Structure 1
Amino acid sequence: MPRTPLISITSTSFRPTTSSPLSASIFFPDTTFALHPAQKWSILGSSKSTLLSILCGSHIAIPPTGRRYPGLRGTIQLVSFGTGSASTGMLAGANRGETYLSARYEARREEFDVSLREWLGGSIAGKNPFDEGGEVKGEEALGERKKKVEDVARDLMLREFLDQSVMTLSNGQSRRARIAQALLKRPEVLAVDEPFSMAPRGWVMGLDPPSHNLLSELLSRLPHAPQPTQVLLGLRPQDPVPAWSTHITYISNDRILAQGQKEFVIPTLRQSGKAILHEGDAQKPAPTLLDKVWSISAHQAFTSQKPTPSPSKSTSRPILVQMSNIQITYPPRPPLLQNFSWTIRAGERWGPLWSQRIGEDHIDIPPNLRSPANLRPTNNTLWPPNPPSRARQTGKVHSFFPKAYTLRRTALFLRAVVGKRDLIVLDEAFSGMDSVVRDRCLQALADGFDRTRQALVAVGHVGEEVPEVDMWVKLPEGGSDSCAVFGDA
């Protein structure tokens, strides 16, 4: 006898919750979907985030009885890391407010900063333990709440960071912290949208391969006793379907094209021309630079703590940047870099790789400034002394627009390269871009790069989003005892 589904949608259409819902257009018409216990769904496609919000109870169901939760005894929690998610910047409440991600390196630890333990403790489902009576009972309840925080931190490998300011957590640690926060609310269903990409304040940053694998492994452990939690994943096209996922839904244009058990849906989609990646594929994509770098051990390449210099194609080219045994520290935190030496010469193209960000180029561009006309210089740090002619500038810009007209990443990329600076630094510049736009940007970068005087430094976490480089440097995790590793691409 089949078990009662936790979520059941039968022949139901939906309208957005707006000021005039009756006049709003219908999406996901005549949709049918069911989530049964022990199923782990991966939802792919352009409207995956919308379907996840529908499953979590958002939007207006037509008819109202078409969406039911017959077997649900607990709650549903949605954690979104995707573009357009409600969470912006760092973890909400990190310093009694919001800020942008790179501020964790710039800001000093202030008295109003919140530790991870405090931040998670405020997320536990239930009342304040002192609301219900005497001091002894309150102290016992506090001890129980502390144990819940420590248990979920252990499950998500966060215990060593509990007394650390949430402002200083890395991308992967912050992501696990948000999932821990959701789990402390004791959901029966956990929906995680784009767990392997993050989009604070309009930009998207992917995880490096080790962090990706760790997060996938941690999610695979759910559900677990004594309070089982079902998992729904919203995945990007470049994200492989986890090996532990049991079912797949594929969406296009607000319609479910295929759904069911993974072993049946993936072959069907591939036969129809859909490129579906799977962690267990025998035929894997060609290894990228990142695959090579993350598989290499420290003793197989040069390190910044040895006298051997970083690799260079030509020592006769002009030096543009030179660092010698530098240390970067924001007290009282551990050093981000120490004993680090690096020389960048004209003509070199470098790929720095790190599990944390090292730049702050992804500023939030207001909607009224996202146009070709507003790629003009605002100060000398962003533009050369002799900017290109307006005709050449406008011609290059309009070759990308209007298709990518509102893409703030495209605007930032063009702003960085159109001026022909001696040094171009691209920090996750192509992450989250439409693949067609990204490939055009990569081609423009290759065609316009002047190897006689320019140098390129490109930071990336996804192989397809790293431009062609000659050399790479793998930077250590902040506070670790490891050192930087250099190598040839």
Structure 2
Amino acid sequence: MRPLTSRPPIIRIANGTFYRRHPNAASSHANPPLFSDLSFELASASSTPRNWCIVGPSLSGKTTLLQALRGRLLCEPPSARSYPYLSTDAVPNRLKTPSMAIQYVGFDAEQGAGGLAGSAGTSAYLSARYESRREITDFSLRDFLLGNTELNPLKTAPEDDDGSISPQFFGRVVQDLRLEHLLELPVSFLSNGQGRRARIARALLTKPEVLLLDEPFMGLDPPTVTGLSPLLQSLAAQASPRLILSARPQDPVPEWVTHLLYLRTDCQIGSMGPKEEVLDGLKKYAQGVRNGALAEDKKLPIHSLAGIGRVLATGAKGSDHTDNREAFYKGIEPIDPNAEPLVEMDGCKVQYRGKVALGNWTQQTVDGPKGGLIWTVRRGERWGVFGPNGSGKTTIVSLLCSDHPQTYSLPIKLFGRSRLPEPGSGELPLTFWDIQSRIGHSSPEVHQHIPRRLTVRQVIENAWSETFGGVPKLNDGARERVEAALKWFAPELNPEYATTSSHESIAWANEYLFGGLSFSAQRVALFIRSMIKSPDVVVLDEAFSGMDDAVRDKCTLFLNEGEAKTYQSEEIVQSEVSRSGTIKVPGLSDQQALICIAHIKEEVPDSGPIYLKFGIAADERVHLDWRDAWADGWSSESGVLNSAQYWCARGNWPPA
């Protein structure tokens, strides 16, 4: 048997430079070199663990590097990248090619191997998701995980020796990813977090040689994270498959990760090697800059290193799922009872074929107990909606935006009017387009449906369009707003910003396609799209997920202050356009309502009071997590904490 150290590596890159397109190809779009003269090897076997994690701030190229490793980017010279281990007898025939042996799981809504996006393709508007025919094209989660997604799917796992899925392996994967109770559901019924878990499970069940996980813990609730990490650790320990993760600087890195590759903001390697050595070097660099002993490298900003070095322990246990939820409600009068109500839900319960997806609880009201969700959002209010995967957050957003067809039959009023004619009112109901024009919305669903062919400018201008692919109706004021936002967010949106000396022109916004941006940059563009035209209601559904701390903080500053304030190093100062009196984009006004949906408090703006803590939790652990978050100084200064109204759906946990 060949010694471990003599086996060829699975991936070998020797002084390779990567491009999205051939460097000599004629194109109107930018094509900068990526990871110049990169050298990297992923061992097929090693006497000591070598588990890699790629870490870097927004626009550093984490996803791009993963794509380069799997052979998706052009390598120059072509011979610099090879996969020698795949040609050996140790690899089964079905895994001889990199496209089969190396599986990638990312959450940028791109279709691909192991992806779930293909089950609910893109469309002109989100409500089409609820109108699609399910009896032919919509398969159960079990069929999706087993690869039975043909028109006549198999009822059992494949029989071939190379790719067989044993019942034991299948059971362990779905249990560790908390998918058992979802196996018979159509995949289009899954929430965002459930869909992420399903995609990871599908990739694991294909038994690849290498699994590339692009920020695998993003968008998952704490119990799922604590359950997923030990599963990945056990797979890494057996090298079945070999794992390469990516993470933001502030993300806790699993303690079983042994090697780090830290990226600079210009898609180049900043540091690479054993985890402790890389972290020690980065911390010394940041300390030296803060002490004045070192000059800051603009391509390695120290603000992006603020949270680096956190560890995700493997001893924590995930909580068991329970669908036996009941409701606990505590409320007071609204902050301003005279403010115009924009959203009114008076006992909403969403269900499919008898299965309740939202509102399976009873709330105490002044008129006594009442079933379903009761909620009023008024002008000027700022709301937070929290809960684990599958708790109903996406359903709430679909009701808010009138994408869900049940808004026609449920007791909901949007902007003072229902979706059906009201007898005796003499008014026609608001149309779908009327409602959409008054709501700014950023969410994973929007991210999935935005056409990748649009330029950065076109994505933001799409805020004035009726559909994702429609022609926007812009006036001079709207164009000025778009250009102001592009200039303000140029460091976060322009892939060439770190390597360009002049930043006056925004021509890059007409050259770069949305699909070519990093995940973080795409989320920034969608965030701008949601608030750029000052809609009556801004809905941010996991809008900051995937951003590093610095980018998220800049977005929340823009949300609250517009162009009036900016960051100078690590401090907030008055902006130049504010001093000159030429502000085009203001922050949220007291006439707008804000609704933030997230898993954790860090993804909610903290510069103003949150009037509602709205949590839907499946068990005791999650409930306590949200309660601890509320007590962690969110609104203690404003006194809102003690008087906020909130709902919590919980399991077997007695009210405090």
TM-score over 0.5 (shorter chain): yes
> Is contact 2:383-2:610 (8 Å) kept?
yes
Corresponding residue SS for 2:349: strand
1:454 paired residue number = 592
Q: State the shift of 1:465 in Å.
A: 3.5
Equivalent in the alignment of 2:242: 230
- Structure 1 gaps, min length 5: 131-136, 198-205, 283-302, 381-386
Q: 1:344 aligns with which of 377, 399, 421?
A: 377
Identity %: 31
Do the aligned partners of residues 337 and 254 (structure 1) sit closer, same or farther apart at CA in structure 2, a change above 3 Å counting?
same
**Amino acid of the residue matched to residue 179 of structure 2?**
L
Structure-to-structure mapping, 1:77-116, within 5 angstroms:
77-83=102-108, 85-87=110-112, 91-94=116-119, 109-116=134-141
Shift of 1:328: 1.7
Residue correspondence of structure 1 range 25-174 to structure 2 within 5 A? 27-35=35-43, 36-37=45-46, 38-45=49-56, 46-58=60-72, 59-60=74-75, 62=77, 64=79, 67-70=82-85, 73-74=90-91, 75=95, 76-83=101-108, 85-87=110-112, 91-94=116-119, 109-122=134-147, 149-174=170-195
Q: Which amino acid aligns with 1:229?
A: P
Residues 56-455 of structure 1: matches in 2 within 5 Å?
Answer: 56-58=70-72, 59-60=74-75, 62=77, 64=79, 67-70=82-85, 73-74=90-91, 75=95, 76-83=101-108, 85-87=110-112, 91-94=116-119, 109-122=134-147, 149-197=170-218, 206-223=219-236, 228-252=240-264, 253-273=266-286, 274=302, 275=305, 277-280=308-311, 305=327, 308-309=330-331, 312-331=334-353, 333-338=355-360, 339-354=372-387, 355=389, 356-358=393-395, 359=397, 361=441, 362=446, 363-364=449-450, 367=454, 370-371=457-458, 374=461, 377-378=464-465, 390-391=476-477, 393-402=478-487, 403=490, 404=493, 405=509, 412-432=526-546, 438-447=552-561, 448=586, 452-455=590-593
Q: Does the 8 Å contact 2:103/2:113 carry over to 1?
A: no
Q: What's the offset of the Cα at 1:233?
A: 0.5
Q: 1:473: which partner in 2?
A: 613
**Deviation at 1:168?**
1.5
**Cα offset, 1:178, TM superposition:** 1.8
CA contact (8 A) 2:11 2:42 kept: yes
Alpha-carbon distance between aligned partners in 1 of 2:78 and 2:161, rounded to the nearest angstrom: 47
RMSD value over aligned CA atoms? 4.8
| CA distance in 2 between partners of 1:353 and 1:112 (Å) | 32
1:379-415 superposed Cα distances (whole Å, 9 cap, x missing partner): 69xxxxxx99844x44443322242446665565455
Give the conservation status (yes or no) of the 8 Å contact 1:388–1:419: no
Provide the residue aligned with 1:3 in structure 2: 5
For 2:282 and 2:553, how far apart are their aligned partners in 1?
Answer: 24
SS in 2 for 1:187: coil
Residues 221-250 of structure 1 deviation map (CA, whole Å, 9 limit, x = unaligned): 32366x732211022334222222111111
Which SS does the other structure have where 2:461 is aligned?
helix
Q: Distance in 2 between the 1:117 and 1:231 partners?
A: 24
Tell me, in whole angstroms, the C-alpha distance in 2 between the residues paired with 1:345 and 1:455: 7
CA distance in 2 between counterparts of 1:101 and 1:279 reads: 37
Q: Shift in Å at residue 31 of structure 1?
A: 1.4
In the aligned structure 1, how far is the partner of 2:200 from the partner of 2:459?
A: 39
Question: In structure 1, how many angstroms separate the alpha carbons of the residues matched to 2:525 and 2:275?
Answer: 39
3-state SS of paired residue (1:401): helix
Match of residue 15 from structure 2: 12
Shift of 1:258: 1.8
- Mapped partners of 2:65, 2:475: distance in 1: 47
Write the letter of the residue equivalent to 1:470. Answer: I
Note the C-alpha offset of 1:256. Answer: 2.8
Q: Which moved more, 1:244-253 or 1:49-58?
A: 49-58
SS of the residue 1:181 aligns to = helix
- Extract unaligned runs of 5+ from structure 2: 96-100, 287-301, 314-324, 361-371, 399-440, 468-472, 494-508, 513-520, 562-585, 631-639, 642-656
Q: Distance in 2 between matches of 1:92 and 1:375?
A: 22
How far, CA to CA, are the matches of 2:594 and 2:129 in structure 1? 26
Shift of 1:29: 0.5
Q: TM-score, normalised by structure 1?
A: 0.72
Relative to structure 2, which stretch is displaced further, 214-223 or 159-168? 214-223
Pair 1:323–1:32, CA change in 2 (3 A): closer
The 2-side partners of 1:323 and 1:315 are apart by: 16
Query: C-alpha separation between the residues in 2 aligned to 1:32 and 1:369?
Result: 32
1:235-294 Cα deviation digits (max 9, x unpaired):
233422222211111123343332222122111112223515233399xxxxxxxxxxxx
User: C-alpha separation between the residues in 2 aligned to 1:264 and 1:459?
Assistant: 38
Q: Distance in 1 between matches of 2:558 and 2:83?
A: 51
Answer yes or no: is the 8 Å Cα contact 1:10–1:33 preserved in 2. yes
1:286 is matched with which residue? none
Q: Report if the CA contact (8 A) 2:105-2:199 is conserved.
A: no
